[in-house]
Amino acid sequence: MSRVWMITGAGRGMGLDFAKAVLAIGDKVVATGRNPDRVAKAIGQSDNLLVVTLDVTKPADADAAVKATLDRFGRLDVLVNNAAGFYAGYFEDLTPAHIELQLASTLTGAMNVTRAVLPVMRAQGSGKVIAISSTAGLVGFEFCSAYAAAKFGVDGWIESLQAEVAPFGIETMIVNPGFFRTELLADESTQYAPSSVSDYSERRAQQITGWKAANGQQVGDPAKLAQALITLVDKPELPRRFIAGADALGMVRQKLALLQQQVDAHEELSSSLAFDS
């Protein structure tokens, strides 16, 4: 029996590649986005495709998308939380509004959709929830404090969620991609905080130049990542985490080595903090 997938942010970038790859294997796709006409045009026609309006920051949209899914296909097997934005800037330049927008598009947006989906999966006694996080969910980067905060939040939320939903036959997986050639760094997706602190101005200009130059030059192929996701979903059990890309593997290994050094450096002091018996 073919599976039913819901993919957020399916009109471009990774989400578009995911949707096309899933349709190609004969599964059904609920492709969502804020602009359904754009999503439909990007993916093309298919009897196995349902395009639904979904702004992930609006819980009512999430509820409506799930209802439309059940009305059309009767079940929902795989949720891919992919939609996100990128609010770049030095923390002192980022306003509270910037931070809220980053969290809304990347963390609480995914929570809204998952909250709407979980009752369906609980009733089925099965389901898979996949969160497209980032290497920035494991490693902090200069100029990415808001984005890293949101992605670290995604990782912690999904790790905790797994223990809560496992008794219902629901599995979760965090995907931490490195740099993939998507539209995340395009002007439509990335917003740079205006400079409000002159001490950062020179470095800010260098950072923006570097990020803009990286757009379209990323080494990762999102079509191959889409195939990797299908391979993992086909397994009897989802891995709890998938590090995606050779560059991501390198950065995560460096972080693991640093963590080990930090653990070892003060092990004696850390171990001495219990009440004296």
Residues that are catalytic: 147
- The b-or-e profile of 52-85 (16+ CB within 10 A means b, else e) is bbbbbbebebbeebbebbeeebebbbbbbbbbbb
* Secondary structure of residue 162 in the 3-state scheme: helix
* Tokens describing residue 93: 């330049």
* Secondary structure of residue 247 in the 3-state scheme: helix
The residues with which 28 forms a beta bridge, in sequence order, are: 4
* Tokens describing residue 8: 């957020």
- The b-or-e profile of 6-34 (16+ CB within 10 A means b, else e) is bbbbbbbbbbbbbbbbbbeeebbbbbbbb
**DSSP character at residue 276:** P
* CA angle, residues 73, 75, 77, in degrees to nearest 5: 115
